[in-house]
Amino acid sequence: MMKLDKKDLRILDALDKNPHLPVNDIAKRVGVSRQVAEYRLNRLISQKIISAFFTFVDVATLGYTLFRVHFRLKNSTRETYQKFAANLYQDYPCLWIALMSGSFDLIFDVFAPSPQELQDMLIEIVHQNKNIIQSYESLLVLSMNIYQYGYFLKPEPERRKITFNQKRDSITLDDKNRKILALIKHNCRLAYEVIGKKVGLTRNAVKSRIKQMEEKGIIAGYGMFVTFSHLNKKSFKVFIKYNPQKRDEEKSLLNYLKSTPGILATLQLFGQWDLDIEIHQDDIQRLQEFMMDLRNRFGIIEDYDIVPIIEEFGIDFFPQKLTKT
């Protein structure tokens, strides 16, 4: 773990608000020279405090649906679990995968064109991994919201929200756009000139294509992701089951969560659970206090389950398996 000082936190805060912010502007906001700002930014990246500058590709516009799978695994070694997770991430169009601690052991968020395609995929996975999979449950992700962190310097209730995985269009990407998305999906700060050289286009042509993909909703937005362990934070999933008599409170609940720093994402689900909240907290006691307050505020919460995130294996908003279709 790298100890972060005030200048590091100011850099993180500036990029949290605008992941495209040029180094010169970062330097001005932090109060250092351009060289110092660039050095510090590169150090945050090399130390994996900043894990990526994501381009949020909304593959729902390309005809795909996001599904959530919870795996309960048989007793085995941590290395076996890690290998299983790594293979899933590599072999399937996976958005996110992580080891958990609780009522299940692994979260697998995966894209598929239809529920039938998902079922075929799961039959294959279970058949190939009978020695490790005990059971699983699948859920449909209806929509997903990703928020800026909003807590690096002081709590910021007015946070940017990016919503995607709602549209069910089927826009066709040409080869150039697929290559552009593959290049910027983990680094939205990549210069147009660099992208152009790799895909055989001019700087202006790349800029125009990216703008068009933003307008069509293929690119839903951009965001910096950090490694939570470096911030002395713990990462949790909170699964909420709604009281069906009080579903009209859902909008108010989501607006409240948007105004709460530390809430990183909310996923509206169809299945055993209705809502998935990803949250950074100092410890489980603080999280329990937060959930007690949340239940008192909103009668829509009928039941909930807290699951700590132990280890993440990757996140990819435009998996390679999709780039070849």
Q: Using one digit for the tens of pLDDT, what is the confidence trace for 179-232?
A: 999 999 999 999 999 999 999 999 999 999 999 999 999 999 999 999 877 777
Tokens 């919503």 locate to 163
Query: What pLDDT was estimated at residue 105?
Result: 94
Digit-coded pLDDT (tens) for 138-181: 999 999 999 999 889 888 878 889 998 877 678 889 999 999 99
Which of 304, 159, 180 lies closest to 240, judged by CA? 304
Confidence of residue 42 (pLDDT cuts 50, 70, 90): very high
Confidence of residue 1 (pLDDT cuts 50, 70, 90): low
Q: What is the DSSP string of 251-274?
A: HHHHHHHHTSTTEEEEEEEESS-S
In the chain, what is the greatest distance between 2 CA atoms, to the nearest angstrom?
Answer: 58
- On whether the CB atoms of residues 305 and 102 are closer than 8 A, the answer is yes
Q: What is the pLDDT of residues 54-71, one digit of tens each?
A: 999 999 999 999 999 999
